[in-house]
Amino acid sequence: MDGANIPGATGKGLAKSAGALAGIKVVDLTRVLGGPYCTMILSDHGADVIKVEPPQGDEVRDWGPPFHEGDASYFIGVNRNKRAMAVDLRKPEGQAIILKMLAGADVLIENFKPGDMERWGLGYHEVLSARFPRLIHCRISGFGGDGPLGGLPGYDAILQAMVGLMSVNGDASTGPLRVGTAIVDMGTGLYSAIGILMALHERTVSGQGQYLDMTLYDCGMALLHPQAANFFLNGKRPAGTGNPHPNLVPYDKYSTRTCDIFIASGNNGQFRKLCELLGRPEMADDPRYSDNGQRSINRAALSEVLRAAFAEHDGNEIAIKLIRNGVPAGPVLPVDQSTAAEHTVHRDMVTELDWYKGIGTPIKFSRTPGGTRRPPPKFAQHGGEILGQLGYSEAEIEALRRSGVVHDKRRI
């Protein structure tokens, strides 16, 4: 469905085409964040995503406040453009429903504990690969199904701790610090979307689907740059440096007369221009700051001089002046200001459809632009519609409801 053509729809950042993934069907058995974030990316660009929840629902529907009509912002933020139903996969009739869905699906994505799908007769290697040879099955788990930690559950903050991300965040005063966003969950969602698209492309050549073994552990570790690269080269354990960059100077947050700004000077030319625009051109000729290596050695002294210089300026004005003149800089904005910024509006990075408001898709196509087509679904909102499309009669659907195989209301 093209969001821009929904009768009576009003909003921003709506889909203006069928999307680059139009015709791709995804059965989404995931909950919480990594999987739903992945499938929202796919649905933003036209994939028909059927979100199949357990009878108790995706638990993040409860992760508020704030709420909209009983659903938490945590759920709302990563589940637009999907259709939803609820199925008890522990029942044979529920498993049969999934198998009917997979007959017409391109992708199955799930984040159950390794072994659950196999126990339900839905394992890829045991059943699905033979029955649906073109199916791409993406499993997201904490650590995978084998190895020393195989089968253990995964949680974003715990993985941040275990893969080293916390150790390189924060500084000496804070110690290891969790990254403020769920970077491992969302990074896994992004890597999973990339993997699924790779598998879809490969299928055009081979005609075969395949299994993707995606773990929070692997994806979290893949985000350790440049700290891992530094360690592999110099053998020194990386530590949290806070805002400063471990390799570049000046690369830090500075206070001004009006707000904090961030400077990310990456070369000598940028540093010289920075000194000129601050009215301190002599700093660029000081041998202590002549190149990045010297600036790194004399980091503390340079930082003291820069802090004094920035304190005299209006932060927003000097930051824009710097970046317009080739020095990477920007004001440090809170979320309410960043989402309301003029450039955010220009880039359609806040999307709205009726009551729904969220962060828009960052993937911008020239011919097949994606965007919002429908707001996040209520629990089991499309159950009857989906079952009807699978060939179930009204009597059969009602029987499935009575027997507790499909649910219209969340089980408490």
| Cα–Cα distance measured from residue 335 to residue 342, given in angstroms and rounded to the nearest whole number | 14
DSSP-derived 3-state class of residue 34: helix
The closest alpha carbon to 156, from 190, 126, 183, 127, belongs to 183
Residue whose tokens read 């299994």: 211
C-alpha of 353 from chain center = 21
Residue burial 182-194, b: 16+ Cβ < 10 Å; e: rest: bbbbbbbbebbbe
Question: For the chain, give me the number of helices (H) and strands (E)?
Answer: 17, 14
The closest alpha carbon to 166, from 214, 233, 226, 238, belongs to 238
| Cα–Cα distance measured from residue 250 to residue 408, given in angstroms and rounded to the nearest whole number | 57
Cα dihedral 361/365/367/370 (nearest 10): -10
CA dist list (Å): 244 to 240, 251, 324, 386: 9, 5, 22, 52
The bridge status of strand 25-28 relative to strand 48-53 is: parallel
- Crossing angle of helices 34-44 and 183-206, rounded to 10°: 50
Beta-ladder partners of 153:
none
Residues in contact with 223: Cβ distance below 8 Å, sequence separation at least 6, in sequence order: 163, 165, 183, 184, 187
DSSP-derived secondary structure for 129-164:
HHH-TT-EEEEEESS-SSSTTTT----HHHHHHHHT
**Catalytic entry in 44, 88, 156, 185:** 185
185 included as an active-site residue: yes
- Crossing angle of helices 268-277 and 315-324, rounded to 10°: 140
| Cα–Cα distance measured from residue 260 to residue 279, given in angstroms and rounded to the nearest whole number | 19
Active-site residues, by number, are: 185
